[in-house]
Amino acid sequence: MNLDLDGKRAIVTGGSRGIGLAVARGLAAEGVDVVIAARSAEPLAAAARAVTAESGRRVLGIATDTGDDEQVRRLVERTVAELGGVDILVNSAATPWSAGASTDLAATADDIVRREVEIKVLGYLRTARAVAPHLVAQGWGRIVNISGLGARQANSIAQTIRNVSVSALTKNLADELGPHGVNVTVVHPGLTRTERLAERLAAQSARSGKSVSELETEAARNSLRRVIDAEDVANVVTFLASPRSVAITGDAIAAGGGVPGPVYY
């Protein structure tokens, strides 16, 4: 299927590694010029060079802390100046949730929740607020927010709050921007094979003596019983960022290989 993305222009936050980088690759492969944003300039520049070499598209790395509203505004201004406009925003910049973090009520301090909301929720709000006027003015656009299946599981107060909040933000934006031709969706990955997961499992393998493959099999509690690749999530996001996804807005798309048991409708 031709996704009709050739010549579109995108911003992908959290684009130097993990799901964000996979999304940047997926979009560029479909003919999109991409600005990737992350806090650290050196890995960002390396990622931009790699995606450019693979795709032949224009890929720029702009160091940005989405916790700073002024930096976010400069990111969007520079994107418009460099690429001539912006059509797509993919929000993927968030501090990783630590598998060993405290999850009980007594250990959930105010600062833990503030930190989670500041980057993943307010960060997404800042980028959407800066990009939306450009999308509305041209009468077309896509915003895809990367959240997580933690929105559907009560295993951590802070994790659930941040992911449910991204879903709530998505629905509000979808209803407001929909009449202007802008679709807004949220994607919930589950356990995903990224550089960070590989590092974590390699360390766990060294401690336990089990192979990484064995550890992945134990960790994959989804319906497919396997870990989903970042590229698999990126394929879903690339479709949602395309004109072909016009029928989908305001909704959450799970991309974690299926959650056994519950029926979501």
pLDDT band at 1 (very low <50, low <70, confident <90, very high): confident
Domain annotation covers residue 113: yes
How many angstroms separate the CA atoms of 3 and 234, rounded? 14
The one-letter amino acid code at 116 reads E
- The confidence score (pLDDT) of residue 125 equals 98
Summarised one tens digit per residue, pLDDT across range 179-201 is: 999 999 999 999 898 888 888 88
Domain annotation covers residue 264: no
Summarised one tens digit per residue, pLDDT across range 33-72 is: 999 999 999 999 999 999 999 999 999 999 999 999 999 9
Domain annotation covers residue 180: yes
If phi over 0 gives left and psi between -120 and 50 gives alpha, with beta otherwise, what is residue 210?
beta
Same domain assignment for residues 105 and 216 = no
Same domain assignment for residues 80 and 132 = yes
Same domain assignment for residues 102 and 130 = yes
Same domain assignment for residues 205 and 162 = no
How many angstroms separate the CA atoms of 244 and 241, rounded? 8
Same domain assignment for residues 32 and 53 = yes
- The confidence score (pLDDT) of residue 137 equals 98
Same domain assignment for residues 205 and 149 = no
Same domain assignment for residues 108 and 219 = no
The one-letter amino acid code at 202 reads A
Same domain assignment for residues 105 and 23 = yes
Determine what percent of the chain is predicted with pLDDT higher than 70: 98
Same domain assignment for residues 144 and 84 = yes
Structural domain of 183? 9-191+230-255
Domain annotation covers residue 261: no
Domain annotation covers residue 67: yes
In terms of Cβ atoms closer than 10 Å to its own Cβ (0-12, 13-18, 19+), residue 99 is: exposed
CATH number at residue 144: 3.40.50.720
How many angstroms separate the CA atoms of 135 and 11, rounded? 12
How many angstroms separate the CA atoms of 236 and 139, rounded? 23
What are the start-end ranges of the H helices in 186-229? Answer: 195-208, 212-219
pLDDT band at 177 (very low <50, low <70, confident <90, very high): very high
**What's the maximum distance between 2 C-alpha atoms anywhere in the chain?**
57
Domain annotation covers residue 135: yes
Same domain assignment for residues 24 and 145 = yes
- The DSSP letter of residue 245 is G
- The confidence score (pLDDT) of residue 95 equals 78
Following CA atoms 49, 124, 79, 39 in sequence, which dihedral angle do they give, to the nearest 10 degrees?
Answer: -40
Domain count for the chain, please give it: 2
pLDDT band at 100 (very low <50, low <70, confident <90, very high): low
Domain annotation covers residue 3: no
Same domain assignment for residues 32 and 131 = yes
- The confidence score (pLDDT) of residue 93 equals 93
Domain annotation covers residue 178: yes
Same domain assignment for residues 41 and 84 = yes
pTM: 0.94
Residue range 162-189: mean pLDDT, rounded: 97
